[in-house]
A and B are shown apart, each in its own frame.
Chain A
Amino acid sequence: MSRFLAFIASRLVIAVPYLWLLVFFLVPFFIVFKISLSQSAIAIPPYLPVFRFNEGIEGLLRGLRELSFENYGWLLDDPLYVNAYLSSLKIAAVSTLLTLLVGYPMAYGMARAPHSLRPVLLMMVILPFWTSFLIRVYAWIGILKPEGLLNQFLFFLGLIDQPLIIHGTTAAVYIGIVYSYLPFMVLPLYATLEKMDYSLVEAAEDLGCTPISAFWKITVPLSLPGIVAGCMLVFIPAVGEFVIPDLLGGSRTLMIGKTLWDEFFANRDWPVSSAVAIILLLILVVPIAYFQRAQARAREEEN
């Protein structure tokens, strides 16, 4: 009897996360998916209901017949959406690379710092999280705008006589993304670099490697799991980023998150914006799946 109870209990424990995913991920996903197949209408909510439960079986069947992938076809036809997707992927890819270039030396320096200093450095990386993300992005407006801190400082140094126009450009979006997502890059990199046995680098130098070539042949390959994890953690949210391009970017910075927002709130076209969201999800599922597999492989390697 008690064994039976234990069996039930163990199943329950496993069931909890599955239930969680079902209720908070799969069900909303299907709701959004369903809306994406519907038609926009002047109503509350602003789309044609798919299922009319009060009309019995007939109503359900009629509802099903009304479903169509028309919205998806429309998205692919309109270059605005395709360009927004491509531009989002490009901006996310470039800023991921920039974040890696800034984050790697930081993580490396932290991992090689004296033991007593490491918690402090780690704290300094995490500290910005204690302030609202929105406020931090707003602060960058104050830095980047033509009469902002950066331009004033450069004037003071005498390096420029015309203010640099950064705010409202794609460059500002890059700066914003690199700044906001840097900790997500630094932390996994630091974790792998700190674990690495430094005597491996010494062994490489002992065998004739210059310090630079030892870095490329030993340190970089061995920190690859951290590089992959950091890049995924930056790339995935950056593709759908809305706040940064909205606040720092200009009208010419095309990103899918902004398009989504406009469809929802300006056009009130829920079916199309749902379709935009579903396609965005599909685009991101591929790198996420790859990331998961890479992680699983790394774990196997360790065992």
Chain B
Amino acid sequence: MESLGSTRRSFAPWLDPNAEPYIRFENVTKSFGDFAAVDDLSLTIYEREFFALLGASGCGKTTLLRMLAGFEKPTSGRILLDGQDLLGVPAYRRPVNMMFQSYALFPHMTVEANIAFGLKQDRMPKAEIADRVAQMLKLVRLEQFAKRKPHQLSGGQRQRVALARSLAKRPKVLLLDEPLGALDKKLREATQFELMDLQQELGLTFVVVTHDQEEAMTMADRIAIMDRGKVMQVATPAQIYEAPASRFVADFVGAINMFEGEVLEAAAGRARIRDRSGVEFSLDNGGDASAGTTAWLAVRPEKVQVTRERPDGAVNAMEGEVWDIAYLGDMTVYNIRLNDGRLVKASVLNSLRRIEDALTWHDRAWISFAPDAGIVLIR
């Protein structure tokens, strides 16, 4: 499974059985009344890791972050940071800093005073504070805005002040709650890379909460997919995308075609599945399927080929009609309507400027995919 995709850098302490996790959530539950926002959750995060908590709103990801920051107490379970139990350590003594979703800049203080705030709490000498503030302003390129008040700044500038303020104390762990949520698309993309560079440069552990899967995929070393207070899967972006552990994860991240069927045969990693329209598929990667059970075959749209004729020697192929075409410039997404009415999504890269004899609405077409393109899911 490690051969799937390539990680951004050769950094994978989670593969090393001797590596000691930096942050540990051990069977953590947080209930608000009857509702368990976080439900018996265990998770480990390593030093210098860029870790993303990804999930829909209300999945408990922010509650998890707030427990790490010390704003919420777990109902049960333990949270350890660098071997130290954080229970009973108040927020103001934890060596973690948080960048708030709303930025939470102090409106009555200048940019400079906002950044210096945490340092003053530590009673750092004045000259050192001035140095550190200047350094932080330079880092986020806001030198000429030092004397401004937050309401005199643009959204992107405020975001950078919030970042500078949370980094000023050189925390061991930086927590980011939807750090890019309030920025427009262009700025968000640029800032993603800035955050990644910053994290590498400073060698910090980042834990970021986001509902934007693209953001999580771009920035994180590992992603935890959360749903209803539980972790559904923790893996690298490539693993999450190419080897989802369940239908929920497969469906949550990116687009996917799913075929429910019966496992006819499963041996030595290979599997044969008959879907409910009677078509048989054979897969190189059978996952944990066992013969006679129900399983789901999942294929990403970009791994589906669309052709006018059935390709020679194709193992997995189905016939249908071109139902919808969405031309996106770099690629075209086809919705193919199978004979039994189901829609299959296929995206084709437009590597040529002009395609003679391109498929159009209501053309008959075949979809096919290679034996190693699909994933067999049993959950």
Residues of chain A whose beta carbon lies under 8 Å from any beta carbon of chain B: 197, 199-200, 202-211, 213, 218, 221-222, 301
Q: Report the bound CA distance from A208 to B166 in whole Å.
A: 11
Smallest CB–CB gap between A138 and chain B, Å? 44
B residues at A contact (CB < 8 Å): 69-71, 90-93, 96-98, 100, 102, 104-108, 117-118, 121-122, 151, 165-166, 169
Q: A200-B106, A203-B106, A222-B107 are in contact. Are A208 and B122 (CB under 8 A)?
A: yes
Can you list 25 contacts pairing A with B, beta carbon distance less than 8 Å? A197-B102, A199-B104, A200-B106, A202-B69, A202-B100, A202-B104, A203-B105, A206-B69, A206-B71, A206-B166, A207-B97, A207-B117, A207-B118, A207-B121, A207-B169, A208-B92, A208-B118, A208-B121, A208-B122, A209-B92, A210-B90, A210-B92, A218-B106, A222-B108, A301-B151
Bound-state CA distance A207–B171 (Å) is: 10
Complex Cα spacing A48 to B74, Å: 81
A221-B108 contact in complex given A208-B118, A208-B122, A209-B92, C-beta closer than 8 Å: yes
B165 proximity list for chain A (CB < 8 A): 207
User: Which one, B91, B105, B107, B169, contacts A205 given CB within 8 A?
Assistant: B91
Whose C-beta in chain A lies nearest to the C-beta of B71? A202
- Inside 8 A of A218's CB, which chain B residues have their CB? 106
Which residues does chain B contribute within 8 Å of A222, judged by CB atoms?
107-108
Residues of chain B within 8 A (CB-CB) of A204 are 106, 117
CB distance from A277 to the nearest CB of B (A): 40
Nearest residue, chain B, Cβ from A207? B118
In the assembly, what is the distance between CA of A204 and CA of B92, in Å? 8
> Which chain B residue shows the least CB distance to A221?
B108
Residue of A nearest to B168 (CB): A207
A189 to chain B, nearest CB (A): 17
Task: Give chain B nearest CB distance to A57 CB in angstroms.
Answer: 62
Selected from B90, B96, B98, B122, the residue in CB contact (under 8 A) with A203 is B98
Number of A-B contacts (CB under 8 A): 59
The CA of A211 and the CA of B90, in the complex, are separated in Å by 10
CB distance A199 to B100 under 8 Å? yes
Q: Give B222 Cβ to nearest chain A Cβ, in Å.
A: 24
Tell me if A200 and B104 are in contact (CB < 8 A): yes
Collect the chain A residues with CB atoms within 8 Å of residue B121's CB: 207-209, 213
B117: chain A residues at CB < 8 Å are: 204, 207
- Tell me whether B106 and A206 are in contact (CB under 8 A): no
Q: What residues of chain B lie closer than 8 Å to A200, measured between beta carbons? A: 104, 106-107
How many Å lie between the Cα of A203 and that of B169 in the bound state? 13
CA distance A213 to B151 in the complex (A): 24
* Bound-state Cα–Cα, A267 to B105, Å: 61
| Cα(A210)–Cα(B104), bound, Å | 17
* A contact residues around B118 at 8 Å (CB): 207-208
CB of B192 to closest CB in A, whole Å: 23
17 new A-B contacts, CB < 8 A, other than A202-B98, A208-B93, are A199-B102, A203-B104, A204-B106, A204-B117, A205-B90, A206-B69, A206-B91, A206-B92, A206-B98, A207-B117, A207-B118, A207-B121, A210-B90, A213-B121, A218-B106, A222-B107, A301-B151
List of B residues within 8 angstroms of A210 by Cβ: 90, 92
Which B residues touch A209, using CB under 8 A?
Answer: 92, 121
A204 CA to B165 CA, complexed, in Å: 11
Q: In chain A, what residue has the closest Cβ to B115?
A: A207
Would you list the 3 A-B pairs with minimal beta carbon distance, nearest first? A207-B118, A208-B121, A203-B104
Q: How far is the CA of A211 from the CA of B118 in the complex (A)?
A: 14
Give every chain B residue within 8 A of A207 (Cβ-Cβ). 92, 97, 117-118, 121, 165, 169
Given the complex of chains A and B, what is the CA–CA distance between A244 and B92 in angstroms?
Answer: 47
Chain A residue with the shortest CB-CB distance to B165? A207
Complex alpha-carbon distance, A213 and B96, angstroms = 19
Residues in chain A near residue B96, CB distance under 8 A: 206
**Contact between A203 and B108, CB atoms less than 8 A apart:** no
Q: How far does the Cβ of A199 sit from chain B's closest Cβ, in whole Å?
A: 4
Q: How far is the CA of A301 from the CA of B96 in the complex (A)?
A: 32
Given A207-B121, A208-B122, A208-B169, is A202 in contact with B91 using a C-beta cutoff of 8 Å? yes
Q: A197-B102, A199-B102 are in contact. Are A206 and B108 (CB under 8 A)?
A: no
A200–B150 CA distance with the chains assembled, in angstroms: 13
Which residue of chain A has the shortest Cβ distance to B100 in the bound complex? Answer: A199
Q: Chain A contacts of B92 at CB under 8 A?
A: 205-211
A112, chain B: closest CB distance, angstroms? 14
Q: How far is the CA of A203 from the CA of B71 in the complex (A)?
A: 10
Chain B residues, CB < 8 A from A205: 70-71, 90-92
For B69, the closest partner residue in chain A by CB is A206
Query: Once bound together, how far apart are the Cα atoms of A153 and B169, in whole Å?
Result: 56
B-chain residues with CB within 8 Å of residue A202 when the two chains form the complex: 69, 71, 91, 98, 100, 104
Shortest C-beta distance, B338 to chain A (Å), equals 50
CA distance A211 to B70 in the complex (A): 13
A12 to B70, CA, bound (A): 60
- Nearest B-chain residue to A202, judged by Cβ: B71
Closest chain A CB from B151 CB (angstroms): 8
Min Cβ gap A156→B in Å is 41
Return chain A residues, CB-CB under 8 Å to B93: 208
Instruction: Give the shortest distance, in Å, between A31 (CB) and chain B (any CB).
Output: 46
> Would you give the shortest CB distance from B121 to chain A, in whole angstroms?
3
How many angstroms between the C-alpha atoms of A218 and B121 in the bound complex?
A: 13
Q: Which residue of chain A has the shortest Cβ distance to B98 in the bound complex?
A: A206
In the assembled complex, the Cα of A207 lies from the Cα of B118 at a distance in Å of 5
Neighbouring B residues of A221 by C-beta, 8 Å: 108
* Residues from chain A with Cβ under 8 Å of B122 in the complex: 208
User: Within the complex, what minimum Cβ distance (angstroms) separates A191 from chain B?
Assistant: 17
Instruction: For residue A221, give the distance in angstroms from its CB to the closest CB of chain B.
Output: 5
A residues in contact with B98, CB < 8 Å: 202-203, 206
Q: A206 vs B165: C-alpha distance in the bound complex, in angstroms?
A: 11
Provide the bound-state CA to CA distance between A207 and B169, in Å: 8
- Cβ-defined contact, A203 with B100, below 8 A: yes
